[in-house]
Amino acid sequence: MYSTIVIGSGQAGLSAAHHLAKRGVDFLVLDANPGPGGAWQNRWDSLTLGATHHIHPLPDFPLENQDSTRPASAVVKEYYGEYERRFNLPVRHSATVTSVTRVENHFEVHADQLYTARTVINATGTWSNPFWPVYPGQFDGPQVHTNGFISPSQFSGRVLVVGAGASATQFIVQLREAGVDTLWSTRRAPDWREFTGAEWGLDVERQVNERTRAGLPPKSVVGTTGLLLNEKMRAGITSGALVSRGKIARLESDAVVFVDGTREKIDAILWATGFRHAHRHLRNLKLHTEAGGIVMEEDGVSASAMPGIFFVGYGASASTLGATRAGRKAALAAAKYLGDAT
């Protein structure tokens, strides 16, 4: 039996693993991916390091002097892999966790085999759980979600991009630059903001923590932060590319009808509609409230409903900076729980 099993080896999972190792906790990391890189290894090649939100370094290992024109997937895959090797972290890849159950004073974790542990740190993120909205009608052409996007070469003709987040705006810019015509649909008017000052980040974190402590599911990233209004986005607004046509009323075999009654022919749909937290393997623990969230303690990582299970990369810790901090918090909380339980 392990003292702790960490599920997921992305930013949050590796940070937790590092701090567990520093405290001499006996642990194992189980990760569904075939190699290092977390969800980053699945990002499209045109998403360069310079085009991403800032990637915060992992503990005790700076991420410095990186070529901003390289694909973020390649940079982060190499960085995470070196981190696993440098700190000799016990990470088992290709070990998809299918369920976790509580048995008396320990957890049973079902993956490539059965593991047991006194505590669990869940760091599974969202990438494996894309959200596909449902609208009246049916479109018969190609449909791709964010996690299936590779490059603009997948598309031709006229593409409907659905979603109000940063990915949607980046896709539209890329498609337009590649000569692909686009339409943009959002449920609400895009919330453009100029991000300035540390107080803005603290306010975002406060808003997210208020929801998770109340057992509400976290909002989408853009629902809390808004959209970054930079020069490239301003140019897209001016050109009309980044002007939303509003909400979809219904889909037809080769067209979309918006709530204002206008109908447009389309050849494909790119659903940039975000993700939900990948918690299906935890359903036997019955942690979720009727509202769909998990009630968190004041530390932001401990599940109120069940001592011994901790969450990183959830709520306010979904960013790479938040994930790194939460990994430390979860490791400290797990070590304290293990000490108190002896």
Report the C-alpha gap between 265 and 4 in whole angstroms: 54
- Residue 42 confidence (pLDDT): 79
- List the chain pLDDT tens, one digit each, 342 residues: 999 999 999 999 999 999 999 999 999 999 999 999 888 887 877 777 766 666 788 999 988 777 778 888 888 999 999 999 999 999 999 999 999 999 999 999 999 999 999 999 999 988 888 999 999 999 999 999 999 999 999 999 999 999 998 889 999 999 999 999 999 999 999 988 876 554 445 555 565 566 666 666 665 555 556 788 888 899 999 999 999 999 999 999 999 999 999 999 999 999 999 888 899 999 999 999 888 889 888 888 999 999 999 999 886 555 556 788 889 999 999 999 999 765
- Residue 342 confidence (pLDDT): 54
What does the block give as tokens for 114? 């059965």
- Residue 30 confidence (pLDDT): 98
pTM: 0.84
- Residue 276 confidence (pLDDT): 87
Give the strand pairing for 27-30 and 2-7: parallel
